[in-house]
Structure 1
């Protein structure tokens, strides 16, 4: 008689308690956190007053409890449950640990619809407001999932598709808030989530919806378990994969939309909660099946939201619970989780293959010179158009007379205000385009740009900090602050991405995480300094040439003079870097010094461009692609053409923003985002089969 030797599973404390014990521990933790949470507030009512109020004590304690603290507590629980369950569903559907309502831009789509309704003065019932948020979130999720093939073609593609869509939707939301400041007052802080509630109406109306969606998702748990084995296996076992994904995606979007309707977009709870639950030991029987995973993720989400709110008020004071969105804390936590996931998971998805657009393999020198000549001609025309266009249209003769000093006082004043704006757009556009070209070569990722690596938002944090603390700071101080922020962000991304070498996918994913963290820090700075006067900061963060002075152009001009020759000197090394990892090593290219030099030059260009015109996105993505499509992949030709196209794009965007709704203005960064997003979507769509 033979005997079978079995491997003994270690008996851990959590294994002893089992799945039911884990649930009881989670519920106990939620009860303790809720008890702490309800004792915090801006009033003088303390923990003992609240306790006596629960058992029929003073009227004041009862009023505070019912009017403020209990609604805030229940809102936090409802939002955490909804986002935790939604994130768990989306990760299971996409079979991707970085899928969440934030990375799929669901929250941004829902936020845009709510902000638009507020801008037009629509006072909708809560249910209709939730319906609007649902349709906005559903449209965003459908677009991102379509572009990333459901998230199964690689983490990098999913994150880039979601980031681009979120940026476009965020740009539209910022545009709405800038144009309709009165109707959207206070929405900027709400855009990062707010648990401030006036009553229990939102929770009592949407709570049952959240609970029903959670129960429906748990009912589909066994099918989700089978889906985790693969689409083919699930189909063989009788699961209608397409219908299941559609139904569960709808449930996830309803959950996310309900959370946005109650408290605004609270970031990255849907990413962190399922990841934390999945880290629990697999030795616990049944814990990682979806009938246990979904409710545990929901409980983890509630713990994250309430814990973040407690931490925020404990560190910054009770008033911070009103001023600062708890989504700032959850976003910072989510950035840490994203970095951990990026360092753990290696992605070799199709976005590492460069040919996202059709490139010209070998255009002749004459053809290259013709493209450059046409670009210079168009750029000259754009500059002239920029001088003529605005709230007052001028004639070319007016510009000619101004150049000769023969215009009157009124025209002289107008043109003296316009020419620094035109020059700022041209210089910043060229700088961002060259920086994007270098970043794409180093990352070997045609969908990367300086903004994706966190450099742009890092520069924004530095500049906004100075703009807030020292409003009268000079241009050199502003440039220094932006440069310091960009360097710190770049240093973090580079060091965290290094793991026995620099992996391009890891670089992009960590860059997106740092970008999110910098955005959260920017929100905190703005709402803490002056939450009711966000138009100035919003305009600057959206990229604007308004009020530029000639002296403000000197830093970006110097950066172009210093950095462009360095990148041009590295042009052949960049050609080899863009191919693969092995070819440059075989040919003796010092990989890390070349990468570091190219990225450092890109950081300098981006930081000075941000100090000149604010945060302008997508230029570093669109211009290099268009250049490669025109003149081929050699950087000796791509660099000058990309610089021309970047300058042309920002110049036209600035002119369009100054004229389309004159005398009001649309920041140039919003225009480039709205132009660049369709192009980015097209790139992803063209390369989705690869």
Structure 2
């Protein structure tokens, strides 16, 4: 008698949760129907129900608002179930179509089809998106050992893969602007639809895939017990994981095909469902958890759309992708999750690839890098959309060059110096971040500092048109320092954790990228080139005035890093030794990270958001000269300068007169290198 008596309240509680969830989704959907760019309001829509509505109201409802709400329901359901399955398969609360690069792979496939010029039917687009998302997710799960290596490694692998794919996508959008027109805003995820064609075609796929996931729920319950226990109970673990990933990627790919990559719904919806399940017994089983995640996904998407249209009414709000709001909400949730995770001890990997080097080897490395930098400078000055000779450059310095040569070099020299100095600054910033974080996979971009500087710089350009470079640089510095303070403060719960620092930084970086998109779409909806320039990093149009802040920062801050080189050596080991040696741990750590924030800020003000230089340069430096920062600091600065200078030259020369932003070149090169680092250390981390 006790069992049934206890079962009835449990069933009643579960039923109540679903009733409340459905009611919330219905309320949000009805509210969303009343919002739009036309004058049709709640009274007009109620008039349709009573038979007193006019044709215009019906047309607005059928052609625009109802398809938008239906798309929100479809995308929320697909991403909610997809994220829940991925989290269960990886046994990781941070797994989602975003962190596993599924959305990025699917988005790249769709953009690639547009570039090639294929006008594919919806089904073919869905297959293409599914293939791209599956390949991306497979790579991430392979590197992260299906999530067994911990949440930090999974998110790092997903972030690196996502950045690489996003860089290729942005490159295609810049090179083929005509073919990909309108895909920038769509790339943030927009549920705005013209008609119900896509929704009606996608709905059967989503329903069938979601139902199959629910039927597969018992296997997911057993998988949650651990691989060994699941195997003992007769479960084919590998088959369960493969089928689960295939279903999750299919759902995410359909969502991307309908509305673009709506960010972080696949992360936030399952987390909300699991939080509710933790309070209501009976919801933790996947046959109830998956439908609850679908409801949560619908609520997140519709709530984001309603919030967006309330805060930014009219046509401006309609032009802002819903995914911007969901990404901001998801980034906050990711930071919250990161603060709850325990540190997995990544401090042990600080010396990966670092071997002691003799003085002779260090001298040879420095000499080679100086020669390489001189060679990169010469190539950067001579190569571009117009080839020059050394004699032309000599005449320019002497003031006797012709008008055309003077015109070319007057524009090219500031770009060359901006790339060299910004590259050196990023190399030094990465050295500081990796030393303090005790993680060779950390870099200013992944810690959100670069994104924060970019947000402030773009905001300064928008709010103060015609502002001097010193104003933009000052704004970038303030943004970088504030972002650094935010990330540092959020990561310092119970002492600074290397894992939390990286995870919080990635969440803040995602939020910063969405904020840049939001600022541009609201203030300059037709000027997506500005956003692409800042997000991809470019030296185009740089002047001598924009180079000076970087030069000044290097002159002032490099001596500080050199002076604290031994502190960096000690900090890279653990927290106890610095205290024993009398190093003021928190103060030194804070000051060093503050210096890296300033170096990052001035580089952003000069060349925009450039990724991976701060990762690759310090890591290569340690592999060449060992882990002593007295050696790493100059080598990392030289490597950063060479890397960004070469990337800028390649971008200006490869497809001249079309110019590829230097940041995209460094991402295309640096992201695979990052993946290689993760792959090489997949057993040790």
Answer whether TM exceeds 0.5 for this pair: yes
Query: How far does residue 151 in structure 1 lie from its aligned partner after superposition?
Result: 1.5
**Cα deviation 1:490-539 (Å, max 9, x = unaligned):** 11111111213211111111111111111111110111122222113312
**Cα deviation 1:595-637 (Å, max 9, x = unaligned):** 1111000011000000011111000000001101110000000
CA separation in 1, counterparts of 2:339 and 2:519? 29
Aligned to 1:592: 586
Query: How far does residue 351 in structure 1 lie from its aligned partner after superposition?
Result: 7.2
Aligned to 1:539: 533
Q: Is the 8 A contact 2:346 2:499 kept in 1?
A: no
Aligned to 1:548: 542
1:220 corresponds to which of 216, 231, 239 = 216
Q: Is the 8 A contact 1:114 1:132 kept in 2?
A: yes
Aligned to 1:3: none
Q: Does 1:100 align with 2:96?
A: yes
Distance 1:264 1:351, change over 3 A: farther
CA separation in 1, counterparts of 2:600 and 2:278? 45
Aligned to 1:28: 23
CA separation in 2, counterparts of 1:573 and 1:497? 21
Report the secondary structure of 1:279's partner residue: helix
Report the secondary structure of 1:476's partner residue: helix
Larger displacement relative to structure 2 (542-551 or 118-127):
118-127
Aligned to 1:302: 298
2:247 corresponds to which of 245, 251, 255 = 251
Distance 1:290 1:126, change over 3 A: same
Report the secondary structure of 2:192's partner residue: coil
Q: Is the 8 A contact 1:144 1:165 kept in 2?
A: yes
1:227-266 aligned within 5 A: 227-266=223-262
**Cα deviation 1:398-448 (Å, max 9, x = unaligned):** 222222223211112211211111111110000000000000010001100
Larger displacement relative to structure 2 (648-657 or 46-55):
46-55
Q: Is the 8 A contact 2:347 2:498 kept in 1?
A: no
Aligned to 2:624: 630
CA separation in 2, counterparts of 1:216 and 1:464? 46
**Cα deviation 1:9-39 (Å, max 9, x = unaligned):** xx9x995832122112211111111111111
1:491-502 aligned within 5 A: 491-502=485-496
Figure out how many residues of one structure are paired with residues of the other and give that number: 680
Q: Does 1:570 align with 2:570?
A: no
Report the secondary structure of 2:376's partner residue: helix
1:69-80 aligned within 5 A: 69-80=65-76
Q: Is the 8 A contact 2:480 2:597 kept in 1?
A: yes
Aligned to 1:62: 58
Larger displacement relative to structure 2 (180-189 or 214-223):
180-189
1:557 corresponds to which of 551, 573, 579 = 551
CA separation in 2, counterparts of 1:555 and 1:289? 57
Q: Is the 8 A contact 2:263 2:324 kept in 1?
A: yes
Query: How far does residue 322 in structure 1 lie from its aligned partner after superposition?
Result: 1.6
Aligned to 2:144: 148
Query: How far does residue 569 in structure 1 lie from its aligned partner after superposition?
Result: 1.0
Aligned to 1:17: 12
**Cα deviation 1:309-351 (Å, max 9, x = unaligned):** 0111111114344211111111111111111111111131557
Query: How far does residue 51 in structure 1 lie from its aligned partner after superposition?
Result: 2.1
CA separation in 2, counterparts of 1:34 and 1:585? 57
Larger displacement relative to structure 2 (47-56 or 440-449):
47-56
Aligned to 1:46: 41
Aligned to 1:432: 426
CA separation in 1, counterparts of 2:347 and 2:660? 32
Query: How far does residue 463 in structure 1 lie from its aligned partner after superposition?
Result: 0.9
CA separation in 1, counterparts of 2:487 and 2:172? 32
1:276-355 aligned within 5 A: 276-282=272-278, 284-348=280-344, 350=346, 352-355=348-351
Q: Does 1:661 align with 2:651?
A: no
CA separation in 1, counterparts of 2:637 and 2:135? 34
1:166-205 aligned within 5 A: 166-205=162-201
The two structures, once aligned, show a CA RMSD in angstroms of: 1.8
Q: Does 1:652 align with 2:646?
A: yes
Q: Is the 8 A contact 2:221 2:286 kept in 1?
A: yes
Report the secondary structure of 1:654's partner residue: helix
CA separation in 2, counterparts of 1:224 and 1:411? 68
1:442-591 aligned within 5 A: 442-591=436-585
Note the residue ranges of structure 2 that are not aligned, 5 or more in a row: none
CA separation in 1, counterparts of 2:437 and 2:9? 42
Report the secondary structure of 1:319's partner residue: helix
Aligned to 2:386: 392
CA separation in 1, counterparts of 2:520 and 2:470? 22
CA separation in 2, counterparts of 1:242 and 1:165? 23
Larger displacement relative to structure 2 (178-187 or 95-104):
178-187
Report the secondary structure of 2:276's partner residue: coil
CA separation in 1, counterparts of 2:149 and 2:517? 33
Note the residue ranges of structure 1 that are not aligned, 5 or more in a row: 1-5
**Cα deviation 1:223-258 (Å, max 9, x = unaligned):** 100100100111111111111101110100011011
Q: Does 1:608 align with 2:620?
A: no
Query: How far does residue 484 in structure 1 lie from its aligned partner after superposition?
Result: 1.5
Query: How far does residue 55 in structure 1 lie from its aligned partner after superposition?
Result: 4.7
Q: Is the 8 A contact 2:347 2:574 kept in 1?
A: no
